[in-house]
Amino acid sequence: MKILLTGATGFIGINFVLRLYKKYEIIALVRKTSNIEKIKGYCKIYYYDGSIDSIEDIFKKEKIDGVVHLASLVPSTVNPINDISKLIEANIVFGSFLLQIVNQYKISFFINTATFGSYCNSLEYRPATLYASIKKAFEDIMYYYTLISKSVFTNLLLFNIYGPNDEKYLFSFLQKISNTNQELLMGDGSQIVDYSHVYDIADAFDCLIELIQKDPEFCKNKIFSLKGKERKSLKEVVALYEEVLGKKLNIKWGARPKRELEIMQPWEGGENLPNWKQKISLREGFVKMTNEKSENIVVLGAGIAGISAAYHLKQQNKQVKVFEKNNDHGGLCGGFFVDSIKGKFWFDNAVHLSFAKDESVRKAFFSSAKHHTHIPKPLNYYNGIWVKHPAQNNLYALPLDIKLKAIKDMLQNTYENIKVENFEQWLKAQYGEFFSEEFSMKYTRKYWTLDAKNLNTNPMFVGPRFYKPSVDEILTGAMSEDTPVTYYAKEMYYPIKGGYKAFLEGMVKEIDIAYQKEVTAIDNEKKIIYFSDETRVKYEKLISTLPLPLLVKILKNTPQDILKSSKHLHATSVALVSLGFDKEIPEQLWYYVYDEDKFFARFYSPSIKSSHNAPKNCSSIQVEIYFSDFKSLEKMSNNCSNLADFFIKHVKEKLFQMDFCKEEDIICEDFRIIPYANIIFNHGMEEHRDKILKYIKDCGILTCGRFGEWDYLWSDQSFLSGKNAANNLS
């Protein structure tokens, strides 16, 4: 279901997105001035420019099922008269635009967020503030659309709210003064308040959406009132907070006079939302907010580098804890199941095979899982022809004119002695102009998302991964398909069961990992890490595997020049299309694709890596489509509103054209995005990276792994990176 959400960058909106993005496809409508940092990875974002056209444009592009309207503007307390025009525009005009379009496009439902301030100590309408009266005026406009429209227009009335991402409300302020001992002047605290945790509020919107689907008529023109279980005086609520906090706050009760039209009793009207219950008690909620543990050594990220760092620290009898954002370990080396009528298929997060030579890596991997040994024999697809890999010394299958041009350029290479300043020049110096432009540079655009001239020649990037054949190898490969394997790894290893991450399980058993712990901020001076669930942890020493641009963003007080340098660090992301077949189809382990009309750079077969990755007598492939800041999925798909449908269809159509499989062979399909895939070696990257790494080290933080070191590390190198970080921790 596709939900248009307004107010997505506010307190409730952020939590709505973070809790429900997996259930709904959320389209956030925000203003250009909004801070989208906390939501941008979890929803699609459109901008409102003050015109109805900017709203209608969304409904033309997206198939919206319903609208959740959270956006509102509260007047300043200093001189609200100056805000009246802004209040009317934000709370009436903007909302009325939405109402008109919902009616016009026959959208299923519109949920408005109402305020208990409209009922000041009364069952009947009696506004406590100018804001409440304007909100009620909007409800009256909405009532008109209820009378003329088939859409469901309804209200969810909220009382007092607290929880994570709360930057303006009472308890956020109380948390701050608990550290400063600042005096807070309050009224007598006798007013009865009704606090609900924002997680319960997000769940209430979810419940109302479900109820509308089941019984739309029942929901029309209602005010569902989210009455909590614990209505107490404000003074009692703060006392409970102090009890959980274990500290008396410097609050002077009775120091402020009662406000005119102050709400002393929450509204008793409205209907109960029948399928919603308040789950989080005040005490539980306050514990979440104040929970602070202390750990000796903290590792951020349970990918292979983080696991290795923690494991080797554990071997040194160190106290260490790993915190992982997701609900499973492995990171880029993890994977997922996809259901089918014949059983479950396992897919790794892109192609993973080990060719580790280091004995410590092999010992850790092979003691964790029994493995298959594969001899790499990949194929390349070029203009309808399958070419043995690497193509530069396996030209046999190509048409004669292509072979002649490639051989001539390689043997009479005019680029060999040039000063190499970029990757394009490096390729031409190795393979000549024709082969580079017809093969290598096309693949570069697909895999690295940039033209080769825009990439540098860092040894980690261009080193052993590219084979330069001798004259004899070029000529032999052009005249015969009987050529030796010249891939950079002679053997590759993969677990028999459990996917690639099975190589990590022996280490995982030895360490302590806390899951679903997303870091939102790090105070390196106080040595406190803050998480999205409102818990926090103190540390003595810290190892981070987080991507460097993210790390400097969440570090408190990062200098502007460091943040500016982080904008020069780019990485590819990968869109994975995974297909399961009801028969054995792939013949090779993996395939490269040069043709640029096919968006995928390569694909591989999980079922050939191990037969346990697919049901019996079935097979599978996974296709990799790379994108980045320089090349977006939206551009590839011509701004298609449903990327999953577009790219699954694209992949299948191209595979059918390649005679690789047929529609009737496919029994499962899946689309998902891995946000960090590879480091991009754009010009000048290393200078900015090294500057950032020095700053992070000066903050007392060690980094490791592909994204912590910001380098092109394979899984064995990432393992060693984590091991080195553990050994360097002093």
Identify the CATH number of the domain in which residue 61 sits. 3.40.50.720
- pLDDT confidence bin for 182, thresholds 50/70/90: confident
- pLDDT confidence bin for 509, thresholds 50/70/90: very high
From 96-100, 416-420, 709-713, the region with the lowest mean pLDDT = 416-420
The Cβ-side half-sphere exposure at 95, using a 13 Å CA radius, reads: 30
Tokens of 469: 């054949």
Share of the chain above pLDDT 90, in %: 82
pLDDT at 586 over 80: yes
- pLDDT confidence bin for 294, thresholds 50/70/90: low
CA distance 356 to 472: 30
CA distance 490 to 375: 6
Tokens of 568: 């020069």
Tell whether 350 is covered by a domain. no
Tokens of 91: 């709370």
415 and 324 share a domain?
Answer: no
The arithmetic mean of pLDDT across residues 434-451, rounded, is 97
Q: Exposed, middle or buried: residue 294 (CB in 10 Å: 0-12, 13-18, 19+)?
A: exposed
The arithmetic mean of pLDDT across residues 725-729, rounded, is 93
Point out the domain boundary residue: 290, 311, 344.
Answer: 290
- pLDDT confidence bin for 86, thresholds 50/70/90: confident
The arithmetic mean of pLDDT across residues 182-210, rounded, is 94
- pLDDT confidence bin for 289, thresholds 50/70/90: confident
- pLDDT confidence bin for 173, thresholds 50/70/90: confident
145 and 266 share a domain?
Answer: yes
Share of the chain above pLDDT 70, in %: 97
- The domain tally of the chain equals 3
Q: Is 262 helix (H, G, I), strand (E, B) or coil?
A: coil
pLDDT in tens, 93-152: 999 999 999 999 999 999 999 999 999 999 999 999 889 999 999 999 999 999 999 999
644-652, Cβ contacts within 8 angstroms, sequence gap of 24 or more? 644/671, 647/575, 647/577, 647/599, 647/671, 648/577, 650/599, 651/577, 651/579, 651/600, 651/623, 651/625, 652/579
In DSSP terms, 537 is beta-bridged to: 293, 529
Q: Quick one: pLDDT at residue 163?
A: 85
pLDDT at 77 over 60: no
Give the structural domain span for 329: 293-334+499-563+682-730
The arithmetic mean of pLDDT across residues 209-237, rounded, is 95
198 and 61 share a domain?
Answer: yes
192 and 107 share a domain?
Answer: yes
The arithmetic mean of pLDDT across residues 416-438, rounded, is 94
Tell whether 485 is covered by a domain. no
The arithmetic mean of pLDDT across residues 172-195, rounded, is 86
- Within 10 angstroms of residue 609's Cβ, the number of other Cβ atoms is 27
Q: Quick one: pLDDT at residue 78?
A: 52
pLDDT in tens, 309-330: 999 999 998 989 999 999 999 9
CA distance 274 to 62: 31
Q: Quick one: pLDDT at residue 335?
A: 97
Tell whether 95 is covered by a domain. yes
Q: Exposed, middle or buried: residue 183 (CB in 10 Å: 0-12, 13-18, 19+)?
A: exposed
Tell whether 391 is covered by a domain. yes
Tell whether 603 is covered by a domain. no
461 and 419 share a domain?
Answer: yes
The arithmetic mean of pLDDT across residues 445-471, rounded, is 86
Which helix H or strand E contains 424, and what residues bound it?
helix 423-431
Q: Quick one: pLDDT at residue 682?
A: 97
Q: What is the DSSP letter of 40?
A: T
Asked whether the beta carbons of 321 and 512 are under 8 A apart, the reply is yes
pTM attached to this predicted model: 0.67
236 and 308 share a domain?
Answer: no
User: What is the phi/psi pair of residue 130, to 5°?
Assistant: -60, -40
Tell whether 624 is covered by a domain. no
Point out the domain boundary residue: 231, 263, 290.
Answer: 290
506 and 461 share a domain?
Answer: no
CA distance 69 to 54: 16
Amino acid at 354: S
Ranked by mean pLDDT, which of 29-43, 69-83, 111-125, 481-495 comes out on top? 111-125
Asked whether the beta carbons of 628 and 680 are under 8 A apart, the reply is yes
Q: Quick one: pLDDT at residue 83?
A: 76
The arithmetic mean of pLDDT across residues 198-211, rounded, is 96
Tokens of 206: 């979810």
Q: Quick one: pLDDT at residue 466?
A: 76
Which helix H or strand E contains 552, and what residues bound it?
helix 548-554
Amino acid at 380: N
Q: Quick one: pLDDT at residue 485?
A: 78
Point out the domain boundary residue: 290, 305, 321.
Answer: 290
- pLDDT confidence bin for 577, thresholds 50/70/90: very high
437 and 505 share a domain?
Answer: no
pLDDT at 168 over 90: no
pLDDT at 605 over 90: yes
328 and 455 share a domain?
Answer: no
The 3-class SS string of 627-681 reads EECCECHHHHCCCCCCHHHHHHHHHHHHHHHCCCCCHHHEEEEEEEEEEEEEECC
The arithmetic mean of pLDDT across residues 278-300, rounded, is 84
407 and 312 share a domain?
Answer: no
CA-wise closest residue to 98 among 67, 73, 74, 70: 67
Tell whether 348 is covered by a domain. no
Q: Quick one: pLDDT at residue 40?
A: 78
Q: Quick one: pLDDT at residue 96?
A: 96
pLDDT at 463 over 70: no
CA distance 563 to 552: 7
Q: Is 380 helix (H, G, I), strand (E, B) or coil?
A: strand
283 and 301 share a domain?
Answer: no
pLDDT at 721 over 60: yes
CATH code: domain of residue 556: 3.50.50.60
- Only one residue has tokens 């033309």, namely 60
CA-wise closest residue to 426 among 466, 390, 380, 389: 466
- Residues 6+ positions from 99 with CB-CB distance below 8 Å: 110, 141, 142, 145, 153
- Residues 6+ positions from 242 with CB-CB distance below 8 Å: 248, 249
387 and 461 share a domain?
Answer: yes
pLDDT at 260 over 90: no
Q: Quick one: pLDDT at residue 44?
A: 93
- Within 10 angstroms of residue 639's Cβ, the number of other Cβ atoms is 12
The arithmetic mean of pLDDT across residues 464-492, rounded, is 85
CA distance 140 to 314: 64
Asked whether the beta carbons of 522 and 554 are under 8 A apart, the reply is yes
Tell whether 667 is covered by a domain. no
Q: What is the mean pLDDT of the chain?
A: 93
Quick one: CA torsion of 424, 429, 434, 436, rounded to 10 degrees? -40
CA-wise closest residue to 583 among 307, 340, 381, 406: 340
CA distance 577 to 575: 7
The arithmetic mean of pLDDT across residues 259-263, rounded, is 90
